[in-house]
Chains A and B, each alone.
Chain A
Amino acid sequence: MSLDHSDVKKIAHLARMALDESQVDAYAEDLSKILGLVEQLEAAETHAIEPMSHPLHMAQRLRVDEVTEKDCRDENQAIAPSVVNGLYLVPKVIE
Chain B
Amino acid sequence: MMHSKSIVELGTGLQTGEFSSVELTRHFLQRIERLDKDLNAFISTTPEQALAEAESADQAIKVGQAGPLTGIPIVQKDIFCTRGVKTSCGSKMLDNFISPYDATVVEKLKHAGVVSLGKANMDEFAMGSSNETSFYGPVHNPWDKGRVPGGSSGGSAAAVAARLAVAATGTDTGGSIRQPASFCGITGLKPTYGRISRFGMIAFASSLDQAGPMTRDAADAALMLQAMAGFDPKDSTCANQPVPVYSATLSDPLEGLKIGLPREYFGEGLDPAVAASVEAAIDHYKRLGAEVIDISLPNTGLAVPTYYVVAPAECSSNLSRFDGVRFGYRCQQPKDLEDLYKRSRGEGFGAEVKRRIMIGTYALSAGYYDAYYLKAQKTRHLISDDFKQAFETVDVIMGPTTPTPAFGLGEKVNDPVTMYLNDIYTIATNLAGLPGVSIPVEPVNGLPVGLQIIGNYFTEAKLLNVAHRFQQETEWHRLTPELESVASD
Contact = CB atoms under 8 A, between A and B. Distances in A.
Whether A and B are associated in the same complex: the answer reads yes
A83 to B, nearest CB: 9
A79 B336 contact: no
Interface in A44-62: 44, 46, 49-56, 58, 60-61
B359 A55 contact: no
A67 interface: no
Contact of B97 (A20, A42, A79): A79
B327 interface: yes
A18 B346 contact: yes
Contacts of B390: none
Contact of B416 (A3, A30, A52, A92): A30
A72 interface: yes
Contacts of A91: 334-337, 339-340
Contacts of A39: 305
Interface in B441-488: 457
Interface residues of A, number: 53
Contact of B358 (A15, A46, A78): A15
Given A31-B355, A81-B325, A91-B335, A56 B347 contact: no
A88 B325 contact: yes
B100 A72 contact: yes
Contacts of B304: 37
B377 A51 contact: yes
A92 B337 CA distance: 7
B369 to A, nearest CB: 11
A31 to B, nearest CB: 6
Interface string B81-98: 000000000000000111
B349 interface: yes
Interface string B306-343: 10110000001000100111111010001111111111
Query: Interface residue tally of chain B, by bracket?
Result: 35 or more
B433 A56 contact: yes
Contacts of B192: 56
Nearest to B431: A55
A46 B302 CA distance: 12
A21 to B, nearest CB: 11
A90 B334 CA distance: 9
Given A34-B416, A44-B302, A56-B193, A17 B345 contact: yes
A14 B416 contact: no
A27 B358 contact: yes
A82 interface: yes
Q: Which 9 A-B pairs have the closest CB atoms?
A: A55-B433, A18-B346, A51-B377, A46-B378, A81-B330, A52-B381, A18-B342, A16-B341, A49-B378
Interface of B: 96-98, 100-101, 192-194, 207-208, 233, 236-237, 239-240, 299, 301-302, 304-306, 308-309, 316, 320, 323-328, 330, 334-343, 345-347, 349, 351, 354-355, 357-359, 361-363, 365, 372, 374-382, 384, 416-417, 420, 431-433, 457
20 contacts: A11-B358, A15-B316, A31-B359, A34-B417, A35-B362, A38-B309, A41-B305, A44-B302, A44-B378, A51-B381, A54-B237, A54-B433, A55-B384, A58-B237, A61-B236, A63-B233, A79-B98, A81-B324, A88-B326, A90-B337
